[in-house]
Amino acid sequence: MTAGDRNSARQAMERVMGSDRVSNDVAGHRIADATPEVVVFPESVEELRLLMAEANQSGLAVAPWGGGTRTELGNAISRLDVVADLSRLNSLIEHNPADLTCTVQAGIQVAALQGVLAKQGQFLAVDPPLPGRATIGGTLATGVTGPLKSQLDHPRDLVIGMKVVQADGNLVKSGGQVVKNVTGYDMARLHIGGLGTLGVIAEVSFKLTPLPAGEATVVATFATGREALDAGLSITRSQILPLALTALDSEVNKRADLVPASDSYNLAVRLGGRPLTLKRMVAETSELARESSANTVETLDDAAAKTLWRRIADFGWDDRPAPVMAARASVLPSMVPELVESVGRSAASSDLRTAVVSHPGFGSVLIFWFAEDEGPSDDACLDALSRARDASHTAEGRMVVDRCPSGVKSQLDVWDEVGEPESIMRQMKAQYDPKRTLNPGRFVGGI
Amino acid sequence: MEAFVDNSSALIDELKAIVGDMYVVHEPEDLIVFEYDGSVDKALPLAVVVPASTDEVSRVVQAASKRQVPIIARGAGTGLSGGAVAEQGGIVLPLTRMTRILEVDVENRLAVVEPGLVNLDLTNHVSKHGLYYAPDPSSQKACTIGGNVAENSGGPHCLAYGVTTNHILGLEVVLADGSVQWIGGKTRETSGYDLRGILIGSEGTLAITTKVVVRLLKQPEAVKTLLAVFEEVDDASAAVSGIIGAGIVPAALEMMDRLCLQAAEASVHAGYPEGAGAVLLVEVDGLSESVEEEAAEIERVCQAYRPIEIRSATDAAERERLWAGRKGVLGALGRLAPNYYLVDGTIPRTKLVEVLAEIGRISERSGLPIANLLHAGDGNLHPSILFDERNPGETQRVLEVGGEILKLCVDVGGVLSGEHGIGLEKQQYMHLMFTEEDLAAMDKLKPAFATNGMFNPGKIFPTGASCFDGFQAGAIARTGAGAYV
């Protein structure tokens, strides 16, 4: 891109948005290796509309930006002129405690929202890494989830309405503010996990969950990962319905300073309920862990539990030494132990060390690769990812690469194989963003 | 669709070659049973074709596509919004021969089934493994999983457990060109756009579902049902808000008003006490400790609203008796009037008192009795307008009153349909909720799926130029004598 283009991107944005909405701080707003020409901070949905309409008309490529915690996600962006930073679109528009619903602007930080909801004894069952930075819009767009699983198990199931600014600047809504609704197509689904490639999420309405009357976290340690995972699966198959159930391998324990710090494999189970219910759940969870050969079983105090779950959710994304690569696999729950073992076996034969966080009840496995000394070669990285991906396919699932060196990114589709529906997905893009204004190239198959 | 008639005999022959002579219905007198569903609308299809396999569905779609004859996929025909009515003619395609349960994976708690499988048959089949399929529309003894997918069906127990879309992992579908694709699969996450989430609830307008991967849940170890009787509907409504406000999301939270109670009492002798103005039916399930603790809390909340009586039951037979009035109420309304028109809308739960009072005023103004049964826990209203279609002009008044109630729902922040769908019934009201741009964005899904207008045309979206003026016109025009819900 030439200096002349740069000027035109800046001029176009300043003309429609005003110069106080436009920033030069492009270095802090890179999308993987790509640097935008300009960063724009809309302060209202109307301004976001203007931004998109102008960009679309002028042929400028736009990347929506939330808290900037997952900017490496996606295939390489093919063009980038404008980053639309939504951090100023951060209002809680409405919270109706008695209805267990709320409506927020997309740029609100997850932790800020949870803080307000907690005052009314409620929460949104969404806990992405770095909630102090991650925004609601970004969390939904990237499809990132945390250990917390509500009854409905996925953030998309909690969305009851959405307003989206389309690539052409039109504002469109779907759903509503009520918890049960089949009026019209469920358009929000396109944008949850869609990485802002079909529109920019502007406002979201959610159904909320009452905070449990009480909580307890049981941590059990095991000699092997297989035992920890087997214990986890036996708990999910019992009558216990945990708020979160996560297995951590010894590498995670070491790197995140988790309690108890040892060479062991941990299973952490977060439980919630009224007193007698909670007591029973703690007892039964502990018993099932012991039956699966746990070495130790303990119930954490509230402060320790809070720290533990924060570290688990943030693992790989916080300020500690970062992994070279990160990926998330979704497979059949019963296949989780095999996938985890297979990843461990591949790592043993390479210079990379893996750390694995898994939520076996939901078939979710997060894999992080750390370099021992200097950076590994692209070939070694590609080999590790390919093996993990093959193992995910064997487990009847798939694996998305969240982070990898750019030389590796150019050699694979980070979203994995989509198969036949890719043609429908391409048609979606052609319908909703024909000029490829939004995040061009970043999505499945270079959409 | 008149133009197709000339070609129809060649098409009929081709369809017979695909599915067999027995499974193509095309004589007018035989088609009559397929001209309606559970709604007020009717239309005669060109033919009814009943395929036995995905391959047959694919070939029927190809044959129809070649001649631009639309296809209306159909389950059991229990839908309440006209979704399975062949409004523009074409082929009605019941999937009711495709009823197999192809796989039950107990370990991973999922099943792969064909779309014609009856909802309750799935639960009955997997109950031996301690599992069940959660969405339970009131028609679950008859309605099919495929129909549930098309309508994103709910049911009394979706308050805690969610609606159909929360329980479907994957779909095998046939597209308008006859190609067969898997959308989603057996895992929680799939890459790319969530086409599965788009297809569920798309009312058969984008693709035909030929296989479904469903999640199964563990049967709860304990269930408790409470029946709380109040003098006034306002007290019952306030108790609903009180229960939710106390941090309890019961498995089910149902409500009936005085008129419903009178009908139910006369019909199933539910034994409601004298002076009962409203009944709440609350069900909690889970661990036995949790059930007892939540039930105690619910009872405490209800006590604050001067109940006449609170009954509770944990054993199955006794719980069934508490449910009897609720389950029998629709049939029982027939005792109060020859016809009723069941309206479906959702409002914020906190607006129950206000909206029920306004519905009362609408009833008084119109002179038409309205019985209210509600999935109160999620604000899903089912006002039933009682009438006699033999009275001249009364049907039209009923539809106007239905429209007035829907407008009221939207005005208080609610929506046009909680669980019945838009279909033909409510397409003219869509402008109450959505702008032209909103609807245009939705309509783009059709070219994205390359439907070419083949699947269930004329549904969901408003038709005609001035849909808003006199929005009931379409519904009234289509309404003949006969099948009210």
Q: How far is B5 from chain A (nearest CA, A)?
A: 32
Kindly state the tokens that stand for A181.
Answer: 């609704």
Q: How many other C-beta atoms lie within 10 A of the C-beta of residue B464? A: 12
User: Does the CB of A418 have a partner CB in chain B at under 8 Å?
Assistant: yes
Contacts of B248 in chain A (CB under 8 A): 210
DSSP-derived 3-state class of residue B110: strand
Cβ separation B190–A99 shorter than 8 A: no
Whole-number Å distance between alpha carbons of A112 and A135: 9
pLDDT beneath 70: ranges in chain A: 1-7, 150-153, 259-262
Chain A contacts in chain B segment 319-348 (CB below 8 A): 346-348
Q: A311-327 b/e with 16+ CB inside 10 Å = b?
A: bbbbbbbeeeeebbbbb
Pairing status of strand A214-222 against strand A62-65: unpaired
Cβ separation A179–B163 shorter than 8 A: no
DSSP B90: -
DSSP-derived 3-state class of residue A109: strand
Kindly state the tokens that stand for B406.
Answer: 């829907």
Interface test with B, best of A154, A162, A185 (most B CBs within 10 A): A185
Cβ separation B189–A333 shorter than 8 A: no
Q: Is the dihedral of CA A110, A114, A115, A117 positive or negative?
A: positive
By Cβ distance, the residue of B185, B193, B414 closest to A190 is B193
Cis-peptide into A260, omega within 30 deg: yes
pTM: 0.95
Contacts of A194 in chain B (CB under 8 A): 193-194
Ramachandran bin of A159, using left for φ above 0, alpha for ψ from -120 to 50, beta for the remaining angles: beta
Q: Chain A: residue nearest B380 by CA?
A: A180
Whole-number Å distance between alpha carbons of A252 and A249: 5
pLDDT at B8: 84
Residue pointed to by tokens 């599965």: B196
Q: Chain A: residue nearest B220 by CA?
A: A239
Chain B contacts in chain A segment 298-327 (CB below 8 A): none
pLDDT at A152: 60
Q: How far is B385 from chain A (nearest CA, A)?
A: 21
Whole-number Å distance between alpha carbons of B379 and B412: 12
Chain A contacts in chain B segment 131-170 (CB below 8 A): 151-152, 154, 158, 160-163, 165-166
By Cβ distance, the residue of B241, B444, B460 closest to A431 is B444
Of B319, B127, B111, which Cα lies nearest the Cα of B219?
B127
Cβ separation A181–B418 shorter than 8 A: yes
Interface test with B, best of A180, A366, A423 (most B CBs within 10 A): A180
Q: Chain A: residue nearest B200 by CA?
A: A186
Each residue's pLDDT tens digit in chain B (485 positions)?
444 455 688 999 999 999 999 999 999 888 988 888 888 778 999 999 999 999 999 999 999 999 999 999 999 999 999 999 999 999 999 999 999 999 999 999 999 999 999 999 999 999 999 999 999 998 999 999 999 999 999 988 899 999 999 999 999 999 999 999 999 999 999 999 999 999 999 999 999 999 999 999 999 999 999 999 999 999 999 999 999 989 999 999 999 999 999 999 888 888 888 889 999 999 999 999 999 999 999 999 999 999 999 999 999 999 998 998 888 888 899 889 999 999 999 999 999 999 999 999 999 999 999 999 999 999 999 999 999 999 999 999 999 999 999 999 999 999 999 999 999 999 999 999 999 999 999 999 999 999 999 999 999 999 863 333 333 333 333 333 222 32
Residue pointed to by tokens 């750019």: A406
The helix (run of H) or strand (run of E) holding residue A94 is: strand A92-96
Of B203, B219, B126, B216, which Cα lies nearest the Cα of B166?
B216
Kindly state the tokens that stand for A277.
Answer: 């219910």
Q: How far is A119 from chain B (nearest CA, A)?
A: 13
ipTM field: 0.96
Contacts of A417 in chain B (CB under 8 A): 191
User: Does the CB of B482 have a partner CB in chain A at under 8 Å?
Assistant: no
Contacts of B289 in chain A (CB under 8 A): 273-274, 276-277, 279-280
Chain B contacts in chain A segment 86-145 (CB below 8 A): 96-101, 121, 143
Whole-number Å distance between alpha carbons of B419 and B164: 10
User: Does the CB of A420 have a partner CB in chain B at under 8 Å?
Assistant: yes
Contacts of B421 in chain A (CB under 8 A): 182
- Transcribe B351-367 into DSSP letters: GHHHHHHHHHHHHHHHT
| Amino acid type, B372 | N
Whole-number Å distance between alpha carbons of A101 and A159: 10
Cβ separation A274–B293 shorter than 8 A: yes
Interface test with B, best of A179, A187, A431 (most B CBs within 10 A): A179
User: Does the CB of A434 have a partner CB in chain B at under 8 Å?
Assistant: no
Contacts of A193 in chain B (CB under 8 A): 193-194
Q: How many other C-beta atoms lie within 10 A of the C-beta of residue B13? A: 12
User: Does the CB of B468 have a partner CB in chain A at under 8 Å?
Assistant: no
Whole-number Å distance between alpha carbons of A66 and A84: 9
